[in-house]
Amino acid sequence: MPTRPPSMGYPATLSEVARLAGVSLPTASKAMNGRGDVAAATRKRVLDAAEQIGFTPNQLARSLLVGRSGTVGLLTSDLEGRFVLPILMGAEDAFGAGQVNVFLCDARGDHIREQHHLKALLNRRVDGIIVVGRQTDPRPSLGHDLPVPVVYAYAPSDDPDDLSLTPDNEAGSRLAVEHLIACGRSRIAHITGDPSYAAAQDRVRGVQQALAAAGLELHGEAMFSEWSERWGRDAAAVLLDRHPEVDAIACGSDQIARGVLDTLRDLGRLVPDDVAVVGYDNWEVLTTNARPELTSIDANLQQLGREAALALFRAMDSSQPEPKGVQYKPVRLVIRGSTIAHR
């Protein structure tokens, strides 16, 4: 009696292929995988048989045997955030090209859930893990007693022995302010978001570095509150009341910049003629629909995700000690109408 009802069980097995082709099971395996030691005619018979009954190799069995699953875990702290998705896309893209599939786990900011997902991933014998955070603030390490390599993206690990990839926020706002200065501005203000975010602090630092390098000073204090359009509007109103001479505003996010643009418009200040504005994040929905379109800093998040995937690949393959620590990845300036008229 056959172990499986013939011609009905959907996932045909290799032994059925072998039987149909009139060869032994190992020969069928070799034929399917292009290993040597199989005559051309035999190989063809096997391939035809496989085709005929719609054989699909069972990855579970293969993985079990060879000791690697060809899967990785993508552990996000929060899917909601706008920054996670591009990283996800980049990573999925890079892995997809290498026959690796991605388990998506969303811990929703909960440590317990994160541990639970981590355990599930290890049980499934993933070959590696990418941890994606929603902020650039350091996050607790998963630890080093894991049987697989881990790469942290966006939110770096707080353990310097881990490998973390995060955008260079300091360089980003430096770039923005250097651009403003190159545009002939000298009375530059900075409106940004929640001061408890490392991103806010890093970007302020970048602004000040660029100003100092040009022998300039910030006009007014850096203004912190929340990452919202509303705050951008309010802050700009206050700023222009106190410092009407300002001729450029570097913003901590595109949302804030959108609010700033609104207030400038309300006050009759022309952008970029009277005041130049630069955002941060290059969130296209916001930047390309602004009036005028918004110059911004793009963190190349998709590229970041791709690089995280590649770093993990290397760590998986070689199991040699990969370079460690936090790598700050370059960002780029995208110039639009809010800093240069007529584009």
Partner DNA sequence: AAACTCCTCGAAACCCTTTTCGCAGAACCT
Partner DNA sequence: AGGTTCTGCGAAAAGGGTTTCGAGGAGTTT
Minimum Å gap between C-beta 45 and DNA is 8
Name which of 21 and 211 has its Cβ closer to DNA: 21
Which residues have C-beta within 8 Å of that of residue 310, sequence separation ≥ 6? 94
Intra-chain end-to-end CA distance of the chain, in Å: 77
Q: Rounded to whole angstroms, how far apart are CA atoms 101 and 123?
A: 16
Taken in order 205, 210, 215, 216, is the CA torsion positive or negative?
negative
CA separation for the pair 285, 171 (Å, rounded): 24
Binds DNA (CB under 7 A): choice among 20, 23, 107, 142: 23
What is the smallest separation between the CB atom of 282 and DNA, expressed in angstroms? 45
- Distances from the Cα of 50 to the Cα of 38, 46, 99, 174, 198, angstroms: 16, 6, 21, 60, 56
Q: What angle do CA 112, 117, 121 make, to 5 degrees?
A: 150
Evaluate whether 84 touches 66 at the Cβ level (below 8 Å).
Answer: no
Write the CA distances from 189 to 30, 80, 290, 294, integer angstroms.
Answer: 68, 31, 20, 17
Reference 198, options 229, 231, 256, 158; nearest CA is 158
Nearer to a copy of itself, 61 or 212 (CB): 61
CB under 5 to 8 A by kind: which of a copy of itself, DNA, none does 259 bind?
a copy of itself
- Between 41 and 285, CB nearer to a copy of itself: 285
- Distance from C-alpha of 191 to C-alpha of 178, rounded to nearest angstrom: 16
- As a whole number of angstroms, the distance between CA 279 and CA 266 comes to 19
- Tokens 């996932």 identify what position? 11
Task: Please tell me whether residue 6 binds a copy of itself under the rule CB under 8 A.
Answer: no
- Give the number of residues in contact with DNA, rule: CB under 7 A: 36
State yes or no: residue 270 binds a copy of itself (CB under 8 A).
no
Q: Report the site for a copy of itself in 109-128 (rule: CB under 8 A).
A: 113, 117, 119-125
Contact with DNA (CB under 7 A): which of 5, 34, 67, 147? 67
- Shortest spacing between CB 204 and DNA, in angstroms: 51
238 contact choice in DNA, a copy of itself, none (CB below 5 to 8 Å, kind-dependent): none
Exactly one of 57, 109, 195, 337 binds a copy of itself (CB under 8 A); that residue is: 57
CA–CA separation, 88 and 85 (whole Å) = 5
Minimum CB distance to DNA smaller for 36 or for 215: 36
Interacting partner of 26 out of DNA, a copy of itself, none (Cβ under 5 to 8 A depending on kind) = DNA
The yes or no reply on residue 298 touching a copy of itself (CB under 8 A) is no
The 241-260 contact track toward a copy of itself, x by CB under 8 A, reads --------------x--xx-
Residue among 54 and 323 whose Cβ is closer to DNA: 54
Closer by beta carbon to a copy of itself, 52 or else 289: 289
Chain contacts with DNA (rule: CB under 7 A): 3-4, 9, 11, 13-15, 22-27, 29-30, 32-33, 35-43, 55-58, 61-62, 64-67
